[in-house]
Structure 1
Amino acid sequence: MADIYTYSRRVATAALIVLLMLAGFYLLGRHAYFFLLVFAAILLAVLFCGMTDWLTDKLHLKRGLALLLAVLFFFGVIVAAFWLIAPTVSRQIQEMKQTIPQALSQVENWLSQYGWGQKLINKVPDDISKVMPKQDALLSNLSGAFSTTLSFLADFAIVIITALFLASSPKLYTVGLTKLFPVRSRSRIMEVLGQCYSTLKSWLVGMLSAMAIIGVSTAIGYSLIGLPLAFALALIAFFLAFIPNVGPWIAGVPAVLVGLTVGPQMALYVLLVYGGVQLVESYVITPIIFQKTVDLPPALLLFFQVLLGILQGALGLLLAAPILAVLMVLVNELYIKDVLEAEAAPAAEGKQV
């Protein structure tokens, strides 16, 4: 009778685990955007916690005061940078709105010299009014853009507020999460969470350092060759450097187009400067920064970026790299070490005996 009870209990437990996993996959598929917002808040909280830990270690401040200083410093840098470079960048972006169409016109003229290019141009409608939305559709699009902006601001506020809550009491949430697991596994879960935190912190430090180097070096390079709108283009390169593999390619397109408005020679200089910066970043800066932090396989990262980009658009593409870093820690610690290697250890000991 006891054996039947034990067997039934194991079956029920296994069935419950399977149902919970199916429910988790269902929620993840249906509400992936919500989970991405949660992860964005966790990532920002890791940044706040890393700055707070550094202040408490170097200045021996209380955690509350250190967190306040970290948050003020973070937003202070953003406001100061906006205050200093916003007028120049805003003016250059306004100029870019006129420069990019001129560059596209030059590209069209170049394509028209070739047969295959002429066929491509013929597929583009001559009358732009045919592709412009009607008045009622335009009003609908403006309304949709307004609601999208409000939604973005609301999501941004939620991420910041959640990050502040998480950073103010990280142990409250980590300990609460470990209580969902059996008592014998809680110390191991806490250890894995600590490794996830260290991985995300190292990834953030490395990525922000690489972004700063790319932004500054690109601005210097563009200024030296006399490229118009150098600061605006460098700012684009700075932000898009947060997206490995894909971001640098996107940032290079407007720079080349602006170079074409000056001449083919300037476009060639832009390619040489931007390509040189990316080459040094990929083969010198990134290996030095990430050699002791996070090493993501490029092919796996690109596949994961494409997958999340298809499923969740820009937000998925933006968070693909840090999510993959956490997944690699979880797989390595909870599956490879705790399952595969743990099962192989007794067999290896038996052979030695």
Structure 2
Amino acid sequence: MKHFLEQVDRSARHIIFPILVILIGILILKQIDMYERIVRIYHACLPVLLGVVVAFFMQPMIDRVQLYLPKRLSVFLVYIVFAVIVSLLLVVLVPIFYKQIIECVKMLPIWLERFKNILESYHIPYDFHSLLERNSLKEGSMFVVDTLCSTFSTAMDYGVAYLTGFFISIDVEFWKHCIYKVFKNAHRFSTFYHTASKIIYQYLLGTFLDLLFITVSTWCILSLSGFPNAFVYALLLALLNLFPYIGASIGLVLIVIVALLSYEHFPFLPIFLVWLLQQLESNVIQPMIFHKTMDVRPILSFAFIFISDAFFGIPGVILSPIFAAIAQIGFRSYLHAKENDTVGKWEDIWYDFDEVMQEENMKI
């Protein structure tokens, strides 16, 4: 562990100077009015860069199918099946989600009226409520419009990226040959690639199963209890559950607030069942899926909220915990590949840093 920490310290010292050079370069580009042009070029190239990421994520599935089918047929099959599955999910879930969002918007006047009664019961001035009502409705409408525009723009980028990833996967052997010709330590890159792609594949599959379990279970509990727009809140709870430490609590608090504004008598039983489900998911289901509880560093999750927002907008913020986990897997896979020639397993990459530190302290 001491050697690992020394390696991290050396790596941190090596990247300080390049970061300073990049920051100074950005300042110089701003002064000579070149920064905006470079940003436009970046936005034009972003779908291609995303295509590289798509090809990276698809390759583990292609490798598995390629054991039984020819290479090109494997690529076609994986990309087509994945596109069909996503399309079917969108066809089934988007109408439900859209309908329930519309119902939520229709509920806003009722919620505002009940919120007004709460304010009056605590003798909060009515003018404050009127201002809040106007601002909430105005900003809420603008938020919905901006979100829809951002989502459509992001969907177009993803579509181009998906096609780019497909063409990269078709010629993946050519790119491998180029890497082996250009880089002397290509075997290290190969170890990193196979380790990262394998662990990321396991993580994404496990995360999908975890989200599916929470969404379906919460949806069933809230629907059977007559909770309004149960699917929206079930999906929101599942996505917030990705954020470490506070995400699950925030999701439950939102459901509690909606219940307070929607019911005359608070529904204690469904709220208790949702809380019980969260405990079951975090202590039983998640370790069972991943063979170990998740360990994304909190500061990494927090930083990727802003990074993902800058790259992908609102969808990026929602998926930022997944991006943070992938970044952590990539970094740990890189450290593994620097010292090992064998492809790493889940236990080698997704170790619990706090547990390792406790073991090291006990040895000392």
Q: Normalising TM by the smaller chain, what interval?
A: 0.5 to 0.7
Matches within 5 A, 1:190-201: 190-201=190-201
Q: What is the distance in 2 between the residues matched to 1:312 and 1:43?
A: 14
1:99 partnered with 2:97: no
Relative to structure 1, is the Cα distance of residues 48 and 131 closer, same or farther in structure 2, using a 3 angstrom cutoff? closer
Q: What is the distance in 2 between the residues matched to 1:297 and 1:36?
A: 29
Question: Which of these residues, 304, 326, 330, is aligned with residue 326 of structure 1?
Answer: 330
Following superposition, the deviation at residue 285 of structure 1 comes to 1.3
Matches within 5 A, 1:71-82: 71-82=79-90
Q: What is the distance in 1 between the residues matched to 2:294 and 2:176?
A: 25
SS at match of 1:126: helix
Aligned partner of 1:262 in structure 2 is 263
Aligned partner of 1:230 in structure 2 is 230
CA displacement 1:269-289 (0-9 Å, x = unmatched): 443233222221111111122
> Which one-letter code corresponds to 1:262 in the other structure?
Y
Q: What is the distance in 2 between the residues matched to 1:187 and 1:225?
A: 57
Contact 1:237–1:252 (8 Å) recurs in 2 = yes
Q: What is the distance in 2 between the residues matched to 1:204 and 1:255?
A: 26
Relative to structure 1, is the Cα distance of residues 67 and 82 closer, same or farther in structure 2, using a 3 angstrom cutoff? same
> Which one-letter code corresponds to 2:203 in the other structure?
W
SS at match of 2:165: helix
> Which one-letter code corresponds to 1:331 in the other structure?
L
Following superposition, the deviation at residue 112 of structure 1 comes to 4.6
Contact 1:178–1:190 (8 Å) recurs in 2 = no
Q: What is the distance in 2 between the residues matched to 1:230 and 1:282?
A: 21
Q: What is the distance in 2 between the residues matched to 1:87 and 1:250?
A: 26
Matches within 5 A, 1:105-254: 105-110=113-118, 112-114=120-122, 118=124, 126=131, 128=133, 148=150, 151-177=153-179, 179-181=181-183, 183=184, 185-240=185-240, 248-249=248-249, 251-252=251-252, 254=254
Following superposition, the deviation at residue 19 of structure 1 comes to 7.8
Q: What is the distance in 2 between the residues matched to 1:208 and 1:288?
A: 14
Following superposition, the deviation at residue 170 of structure 1 comes to 3.3
Aligned partner of 1:305 in structure 2 is 301
Q: What is the distance in 1 between the residues matched to 2:326 and 2:187?
A: 24
Question: Which of these residues, 40, 45, 53, is aligned with residue 55 of structure 2?
Answer: 45
Q: What is the distance in 2 between the residues matched to 1:37 and 1:246?
A: 33
Following superposition, the deviation at residue 207 of structure 1 comes to 0.8
Relative to structure 1, is the Cα distance of residues 145 and 286 closer, same or farther in structure 2, using a 3 angstrom cutoff? closer
Q: Which moved more, 1:83-92 or 1:171-180?
A: 171-180
Contact 2:211–2:239 (8 Å) recurs in 1 = yes
Contact 1:241–1:247 (8 Å) recurs in 2 = yes
Which structure: larger Rg? Answer: 1
Q: What is the distance in 1 between the residues matched to 2:190 and 2:85?
A: 33
Aligned partner of 2:66 in structure 1 is 56
Contact 1:178–1:186 (8 Å) recurs in 2 = yes
Q: What is the distance in 1 between the residues matched to 2:57 and 2:214?
A: 20
Q: What is the distance in 2 between the residues matched to 1:67 and 1:101?
A: 51
Following superposition, the deviation at residue 197 of structure 1 comes to 1.2
Q: Is there any run of 5+ residues in structure 1 with no aligned partner, and where?
A: 1-16, 338-353
Following superposition, the deviation at residue 25 of structure 1 comes to 7.4
Relative to structure 1, is the Cα distance of residues 23 and 248 closer, same or farther in structure 2, using a 3 angstrom cutoff? same
TM-score, structure 1 as length reference: 0.68
Q: What is the distance in 1 between the residues matched to 2:340 and 2:113?
A: 55
Contact 2:116–2:129 (8 Å) recurs in 1 = no
Q: What is the distance in 2 between the residues matched to 1:217 and 1:171?
A: 43
Contact 2:59–2:197 (8 Å) recurs in 1 = no
Following superposition, the deviation at residue 92 of structure 1 comes to 1.9
SS at match of 2:226: coil
Q: What is the distance in 2 between the residues matched to 1:143 and 1:132?
A: 12
Question: Which of these residues, 83, 86, 91, is aligned with residue 83 of structure 1?
Answer: 91
Contact 1:52–1:70 (8 Å) recurs in 2 = yes
Following superposition, the deviation at residue 105 of structure 1 comes to 4.0
SS at match of 2:196: helix
Following superposition, the deviation at residue 103 of structure 1 comes to 3.2
What value does the CA root-mean-square deviation take over the aligned residues? Answer: 4.3
> Which one-letter code corresponds to 2:295 in the other structure?
P
Q: What is the distance in 2 between the residues matched to 1:26 and 1:38?
A: 27
